[in-house]
Amino acid sequence: MLRVLLFVATNFAIVTVLWVVLSLLGLSAQTGPGLVIMALVFGFGGSIISLFLSKWMAKRSMGVQIIEQPQTPFEQWLFEVVRRQSEQRGIRMPEVGIFDQPDPNAFATGWNRNDALVAVSTGLLQHMNRDEVEAVVGHEISHVANGDMVTLTLIQGVLNTFVIILARVIGGIVDSALRGNNDSGGVGIGYFVVSILAEIVLGFLASIIVMWFSRFREFRADAGGARLAGRENMIAALRALQRVHEPQDLPASEFAAFGISGGIGDGLKKLFASHPPLEERIAALQNARG
């Protein structure tokens, strides 16, 4: 998976840095209103900063080459497709880029729908015809127009807040139980150790909700791509992905959630997949009205 994992990883790193900084300044809190305020600051602060860094991270981690002035007929065509589709959806035209990856993939990112990036892989251009590429671009434009990155940020912020609060509540309960009658107020080392462990475990479980959201939004983006480029073209693009036997995930989770393909697993692994199985997506398009 590419996009969600990088987003979650960046978010976790930022929250950790904020927690360390506030602790060094003596501003951290263990209970009461102070804990709630700290959790809100950390929870939403980490996800919001990750959102604002998303496009910058994408360009550098994926090596995206931005098409500023199209140099070839194909670049001119791709540029025009993005311009036309973004105009149809009523958003400002995103930056257009290409990244070097042999597997067919694409993603969209950006802090808002009028300041976004749509990028396609070299593998996508090699494995799909223009009608299919146009459908993939429509899928990504739909992610942007639907505001999926902002919604993901809000969900991640809420989850971060609950994880931080619950982890410290659990840490306090365990620490108090370990000290028993020797409890003289304050907190012991057990609080910090258990809080950190609980935050890791709860964060892992919270990622299941993030991935569920990602899978749900894929169906909406597929429908959007079908409206912009035609249902049959969108289905053909998904079938092209099937022909290459489930391509590798994008290398960073920040972008996997809004890529055209992503991690697919069986059993418990499916809970952490950023995308539904391709056959389910194709079936949803075939069964859609209109």
Distance CA 218, CA 143 (A): 8
Q: Which is the catalytic residue, given 95, 132, 134, 140?
A: 140
DSSP for 121-142 reads EHHHHHHS-HHHHHHHHHHHHH
Distance CA 58, CA 92 (A): 19
Number of residues written out for the chain = 290
140 is catalytic: yes
The count of other CB atoms within 10 Å of the CB of residue 56 is 12
- Which amino acid is present at 180? G
Closest CA to 1 of 283, 267, 260, 284: 260
Rg (CA), the chain: 21
Distance CA 201, CA 212 (A): 18
Do the Cβ atoms of 152 and 214 come closer than 8 Å?
A: yes
Laid out side by side, the sheet with 95-99 consists of: 65-66, 95-99, 115-121, 106-112
- Residue 110, strand partner residues: 116
Q: Catalytic positions, please?
A: 140
